Every structure is written in structure tokens, then in C-alpha cells.
Structure 1
Amino acid sequence: MNCDELVELVTAYLDDALDPPARARFDQHLEECDGCENYLQQFRSTVTTLGRIECDDLDPGFRNRLLQAFREFHS
């Protein structure tokens, strides 16, 4: 597995949705790549932080910009 593949699979990894061979390749890559290990930890931290924010707490303009950024990232 390379870094680009890991980035594509990170949400499935965190959701425990990878099949055993893919999870093994993911874990192997993490052992060999400090950059991806850092990326995974930052991603986890971001998910945890965002999970604490209520939608009603976000400024509507900021919410729209955030959603647009996610859409652009996935396109």
C-alpha cells in the first residue's frame, strides 16, 4: 500500500470496514510510514473534535464553506 491508497481508505479503516487483507496492508504501511501515522492521528483528532460540535453552534456561512470544502476534496 502507498500513501495515496491509505488516504483513500482512512475512513473505512476508522469505521472498521476494511476486509482483513486490506486492514493488514494498511497496518503494515502505518508501521513503515511516519507521515501516514501522523495523518491518521490528525484525522482521528479532527473527527473527534468535529463530533463535539453541534450543527446549531456553527455559523451558517462557515458551515456552508466547510461543506463546500469537503465536496471539493471528494471530487
Structure 2
Amino acid sequence: MTCAELVELVTAFLDGALDAETEQRFVEHLAVCDGCEIYVEQMRRTIAEVGQVEPESLSDETRDRLLRAFRTFPLD
């Protein structure tokens, strides 16, 4: 599995929605790729924190900055 493939599957992995073979490949990649391991942990934390934020509490500027950050995340 490449880093780009892992990024595409991270949400399904965190939701427990991957088939057994894909999940195994995902976990094997995490075992050898520190960058992806950090990325998955950041996603876990982001999901936990964002889940507590009321959408109406974000300013337009903050929302736009967050969207730009997610759209420009480097893949490999």
C-alpha cells in the first residue's frame, strides 16, 4: 500500500469499514511508515476535536482556512 492509498482509506479504516485484507495492508503500512502513522493519529485527534465544534461557531475565515489545509495535504 502506498501513502496515497492509505490517505484515501483512512476514514474507512477509522470507521472499521475496511475488508480484512485491505485493513491488514493498511496496518502493515502503518508499521513501516512513520509519516502515515502520524497522519492517522492526527486524523483521530481531528475527528475527536471537530466532533465537539458547533459548525455555527466557526468564522468564515476559519472554515476557509481549514478547507484549504485539508485540500492541500501532500500525498506522497
TM (norm. structure 2) is 0.79
Q: Which residue of 2 aligns with 1:48?
A: 48
* Higher Cα Rg, which structure: 1
Q: Which residue of 2 aligns with 1:59?
A: 59
Residue 56 to residue 14, structure 1, CA distance change in 2 (3 Å): same
Q: Give ranges in structure 1 of 5+ residues lacking alignment.
A: none
Q: Give ranges in structure 2 of 5+ residues lacking alignment.
A: 72-76
2:31 alignment partner, SS class: helix
**Offset, 1:51:** 0.6
What RMSD, in angstroms, separates the aligned Cα atoms of the two structures?
A: 2.2
TM (norm. structure 1) is 0.80
**Offset, 1:55:** 1.6
Which consecutive aligned stretches of 4+ in structure 1 deviate over 4 angstroms post-superposition?
none
- For this pair of structures, how many residues does the alignment match? 72
Deviation per residue, 1:16-67 (Å, 9 max, x gap): 110000000000000111110001001111111111101222224533x257
Compare the two structures and name the one with the higher helix fraction. 1
